[in-house]
Amino acid sequence: MSWLVVDPHVYVLALIAAALALRALGRGRASMVVTAAALALIVVAGVLPTGQIALWSLESRFPVWTGEGPPPTGIVLLGGAINGLTPYPGSGFSEVSGRFFEAVALAHRFPEAKVVYSGGGGEAFRGSALMIALGVGSDRILVEGWSRSTAENAAFSARVVKPQPGEKWLLVTSAWHMPRAVGSFKAAGFPVEAYPVDFRARPWRSLDIGIAYALFGTAFREYAALVAIASPGERTRLFRVPDAAKPISKGV
């Protein structure tokens, strides 16, 4: 669902433009209805704590990992922390880069654990090289650099790891993304324990309207993706991993 753009600014502007066009065409009543819709969207997405509450409901589904039990067999880091499109070295961290640094910290905390970096667009290769520079041994890193979605993160990582019964794998991603990520890994037959990071939402917190819009857009996009992944067609697609795209890189 990475193609889904949910920016309330865009829709508010589109509604206002439509209202002006309708008024110019002499359709005053329709223009008023569209204007009311634009105002309603501003209130719901930018004034009320809708996005905060929606994100909080996603983030609260998995507790903070406590470290109880045996040490993990490995750590799976989902991509998104590094912008693989930027041509400038060292300038590519994204707003969810916390997941990258948490994974590096976990790798140092559990020196026997393998580390899977799952992310397409060149991110996994760039990110794994940076992990090595930060002291994570190259012999511990498994690169999955072909995935373009959370479903493919899960399916392709399962092919790389071939998880065995009794193994313990931690899944590191943003807390609001964790429900969809865990569901995708479960569907791919890869049992994982959630290690949520990058908590953003706190209900009923006063926010700048721009930040409120951003939280609303993130929450809407995640819920839309969860609906899609729950459909029979999406469940089937989780297992359609083409042999040509099979990740085979071990280490970097």
Report whether pLDDT(240) > 50.
Answer: no
**What's the pLDDT tens digit per position in 50-62?**
888 888 888 888 9
Please report the pLDDT score of residue 239 as a whole number. Answer: 40
Report whether pLDDT(2) > 90.
Answer: no
- What phi and psi values does residue 173 have, to the nearest 5 degrees? -160, 175
pTM greater than 0.75: yes
**What's the pLDDT tens digit per position in 117-155?**
999 888 888 899 999 999 999 999 999 999 989 999 999
CA distance 167 to 188: 16
Q: Which residue has the higher pLDDT, 160 or 237?
A: 160
CA distance 106 to 24: 60
Residue 1 tokens read as 């669902």
Q: In the chain, which ranges are E strands?
A: 74-78, 114-118, 141-144, 169-174, 193-197
Please report the pLDDT score of residue 141 as a whole number. Answer: 96
Report whether pLDDT(22) > 60.
Answer: yes
Residue 191 tokens read as 């049992």
Please report the pLDDT score of residue 235 as a whole number. Answer: 43
With a pLDDT cut of 70, the percent of the chain lying above it is 82
- Give 196-252 as a DSSP string: EE-----TT----HHHHHHHHHHHHHHHHHHHHHTSHHHHHHTT---GGG----B--
**What's the pLDDT tens digit per position in 175-204?**
999 999 999 999 999 999 999 998 887 666
With a pLDDT cut of 90, the percent of the chain lying above it is 41
Please report the pLDDT score of residue 91 as a whole number. Answer: 53
Question: What are the boundaries of each domain within the chain?
Answer: 59-201+232-245
**Which residue is associated with the tokens 């393998």?**
114
* CATH of 59-201+232-245 among 3.40.605.10, 3.20.20.70, 1.10.620.20, 3.40.50.620: 3.40.50.620
Q: Hey, what amino acid is at 72?
A: P
Report whether pLDDT(87) > 70.
Answer: no
pLDDT bin (cut points 50, 70, 90) of residue 106 is very high
Report whether pLDDT(236) > 50.
Answer: no
Q: Which residue has the higher pLDDT, 251 or 75?
A: 75
pLDDT bin (cut points 50, 70, 90) of residue 3 is very low
Residue 91 tokens read as 């300038």
